[in-house]
Amino acid sequence: MNIFFEESGGFKAGTVLSQQGESYQVELPGGRRSKIKGRDVLLRFESPTPAELIAQAQAAAQDIDMSFLWECAPADEFAFPVLAAEYFGEGASVAQQAGLALALQASPIYFRRKGRGQYQRAGQEQLEAALAGLARKQQQAELQASYVDQMIAGTLPDALKGKELQLLFRPDKNTIEWKALEAAAIAMGKTHAEVMLACGGIASPRAYHEAAFLYEHFPRGTGFPDVGPTPLPGDDLPIADVQAFSIDDSTTTEIDDALSVQVLPDGLLRVGIHIAAPALGITRGDAIDEIARARMSTVYAPGEKITMLPDSVVEAYTLAEGGARPALSLYVVVKADTYDIVTTETRAERVPIAANLRHDELDSVITAQTLADGTGDYPHKEALRLLWPFAQSLYEKRQAARVGYGLRPEVQNKTDFNFYVDGEHITIRQRLRGAPLDLIVAEMAILANSRWGRLLAECGVPGIYRAQRAYGVNRTRMQTSPAPHEGLGVEQYAWSTSPLRRYVDLVNQWQLIACVRHGVTAKLAAPFKPKDADLYATVSSFEAAYAAYAEHQSRMERYWCMRWLIQENKSQVQASVLKGDTVRLNDIPLTLIVPGLSPHARGTQIMLDVLSFDVVTLSISVRVAQVLGASQSALADDDDEGDGGAGHGGEGGDGGQGTDGTDGAEGTEGADGADDGDDGMDTDEARGDIRTAQGDADDHSTMGRVDAPADADDSAQTLTTGAAHGASPRSAALMAAGAHDAPAGPAC
């Protein structure tokens, strides 16, 4: 005897081998045996065979008209053999009865299962609603298929237009648009972004990378709301008796800092470090403050920038030549023979700006030799001649402090890279660190940030500090109390010299102005009081924004490096081994992993064949063509490895070089934004401070970072973004804000 039964929610047929009470031992067509309870048996038959029955039942089920079957079914609950007799006639075969059972089970919109072999037809309204839903699904499936066909053909469906960014970066995976994009990507063997590019949904790989950042961090666009007239300081600010000058790249427009020198009697010099002072007009909680707090920093990337402050505010406070500008000035009186600091003083005033010097125009003229022998013809020659040995003295004292903290002295043989974008053409220029103008700007910035950090502490006013330990995890951190910055070799370091570009500096400037105006009562008048929760929130928000901007900058720099390879038609490139299978190209700051690279000493030169690369995924495939041997310059950098030099993040440093001195990286963080880097060359952190500038068009400097993995311990090259011409409207760039941090002089 054979039986048709229900098991695990499905229908099966088998031959009965034995029966014990209400249980059957059954052999299925495949040979498997199973124990079946009598209550699960639906039909008993002698022929056909179980396999034939299932085949015939499936064929019969396909021919059943479910609409007609529904009409034939009784309104009350029924057993399927009863309906089979009604539909097929009284002589319905076992195969027809089993087929009807299969059809009922497969059509829940027409019939509901009420028990084993028992069913009831759906109500009229429920059936109509279910059929309508089924029709909609069918229509959507057809529509989705048409979208897929259009994308495979290279056309973006109209339904997807205007949703490109949402589908790529924050999709609702239940929509047919996303399902169509997913299906097209699978069919074409491409990523979603590549499908969008092929269909014209995204204009170019560059636009894709920029849009990814903007969609996440500037979803409402990069423009500024109307904030009304720019708030300006009162007319009671005194005019400084100096003729100050700034040192930046030719493309820099957000000029945060300027310098001045005066010769005093008794063999003394009075050095002025003048920082743009938007905090004299902007107040905590006003409309402009809300904008700056939301952005936290100017964002920089090659060829692009998104400013922290509206253009009208920048124009009102930038230290442009030709007038007296609001500034917070640190005056340092030093001995002209030993360059020991005698006293310091901080003032809020208007500073006459005599000139905006451009280091890219003067680097070839102002050298260590011309400064030493007094030759050459350039503006503010005497002031620069006096600043040069003072900067050298500050540098040497910091190195001694670094050694005292257990670090090696900084190495000045690194290479910076400037990116200059003109439309879709990229120029990447190298610039060796350690030029006199670099050193002067960096040392004045470090001096200002450390002294002003001391002033805040002496007045009992909280500020935002950068602290760094020589060893251990989480070495570099931001906090609201002073602590040594061992990488820079200073007792405290408070970012204060880039208030036009970085919110932390603006906050510290508010606090410093309170110190200048109120002295010992400053902590009562300062906008942020001790243990102010808002100050802690600022630190947290800034660090999050800083990391996101740095990641975007790194991504865009990698993109432009690959574009440079395409532009220059490079099939072979020379690289230096950093560590293990990690190498960096010599001509551009692009770090790669070379699979299978045999162990080589750091600095070993290798020639690589460029096999392929993808500017969408930013991946590149290379292979070793030839091992050339060791490079003396690379080996020299090796001396800087570890805790002494710029460890792998070492020079990432503040991007100081950038137009606005990306001081952000602070050495350790320079390389990978991680606080665990080998902080090495933290002067970088300050380099940006007064922006030794290599800025980029319109000040698009990058954060000067070492484009190397966190464990590469590489301190040889730093990235700085260069000028941009014809920048894309949706550009975004990394947060490089020049680290204008300097200590303030007089104690409260």
| Average of per-residue pLDDT across 285-299 | 93
10 Å Cβ neighbour count for 701? 47
10 Å Cβ neighbour count for 568? 13
Percent of the chain predicted with pLDDT > 90: 45
Q: Is the pLDDT of residue 682 over 80?
A: no
Percent of the chain predicted with pLDDT > 70: 84
pLDDT band at 628 (very low <50, low <70, confident <90, very high): confident
In the numeric block, which tokens belong to residue 66?
């479910």
Mean pLDDT of the chain: 81
Q: Residue 691 has what pLDDT?
A: 34
Q: How far is CA 2 from CA 41, 81, 184, in A?
A: 10, 17, 49
Say how far residue 387 (Cα) sits from the centre of its chain.
Answer: 37
| Average of per-residue pLDDT across 269-289 | 95
For residues 152 and 195, what is the distance between their CA atoms, to the nearest angstrom? 8
Give the chain's largest Cα–Cα span. Answer: 127
Q: Is the pLDDT of residue 640 over 80?
A: no
pTM over 0.85: no
Among 19-23, 331-335, 522-526, 590-594, the range of highest mean pLDDT: 331-335
In the numeric block, which tokens belong to residue 612?
């392929």
Least confident among 139-148, 540-549, 563-572, 630-639: 630-639
List beta partners, residue 416.
431, 718
Q: Is the pLDDT of residue 390 over 60?
A: yes
pLDDT band at 472 (very low <50, low <70, confident <90, very high): low
Q: Is the pLDDT of residue 694 over 70?
A: no
Least confident among 133-142, 317-326, 392-401, 484-493: 133-142
Q: Residue 343 has what pLDDT?
A: 95
Q: Residue 646 has what pLDDT?
A: 27
Closest Cα to residue 386, out of 333, 321, 447? Answer: 333
**Tokens 């949904």 identify what position?**
201
Residue 309 contacts residue 292 (beta carbons within 8 Å): yes
Number of H-type helices and E-type strands within the chain: 21, 26
Q: Is the pLDDT of residue 671 over 60?
A: no
In this predicted model, which residue has the larger pLDDT, 663 or 279? Answer: 279
Q: Is the pLDDT of residue 663 over 80?
A: no
Q: Is the pLDDT of residue 710 over 80?
A: no
Residue 591 contacts residue 708 (beta carbons within 8 Å): yes
* Rg, the chain, Cα only: 36
In the numeric block, which tokens belong to residue 633?
């310059």
Q: Residue 537 has what pLDDT?
A: 93
Q: Residue 631 has what pLDDT?
A: 63
For residues 244 and 242, what is the distance between their CA atoms, to the nearest angstrom? 6
For residues 614 and 468, what is the distance between their CA atoms, to the nearest angstrom? 38
Q: Is the pLDDT of residue 408 over 90?
A: no
Q: Is the pLDDT of residue 706 over 70?
A: no
What does the angle CA 637 – CA 735 – CA 689 come to, to the nearest 5 degrees? Answer: 60
SS3 content of the chain, % helix, strand, coil (to 5): 35, 25, 40
Q: Which residues of 282-309 are buried (b: 16+ CB within 10 A; e: fewer)?
A: beeeebbbebbbebbbbbbbbbbbbbbb
For residues 225 and 222, what is the distance between their CA atoms, to the nearest angstrom? 10
Q: Is the pLDDT of residue 287 over 50?
A: yes
Q: Residue 473 has what pLDDT?
A: 57
Q: What is the pLDDT of residues 61-82, one digit of tens each?
A: 998 988 888 888 888 888 989 8
For residues 370 and 526, what is the distance between their CA atoms, to the nearest angstrom? 46
Q: What is the pLDDT of residues 153-186, one digit of tens each?
A: 999 998 888 888 888 888 888 888 899 999 999 9
| Average of per-residue pLDDT across 442-471 | 93
For residues 442 and 658, what is the distance between their CA atoms, to the nearest angstrom? 12
Q: Residue 633 has what pLDDT?
A: 52
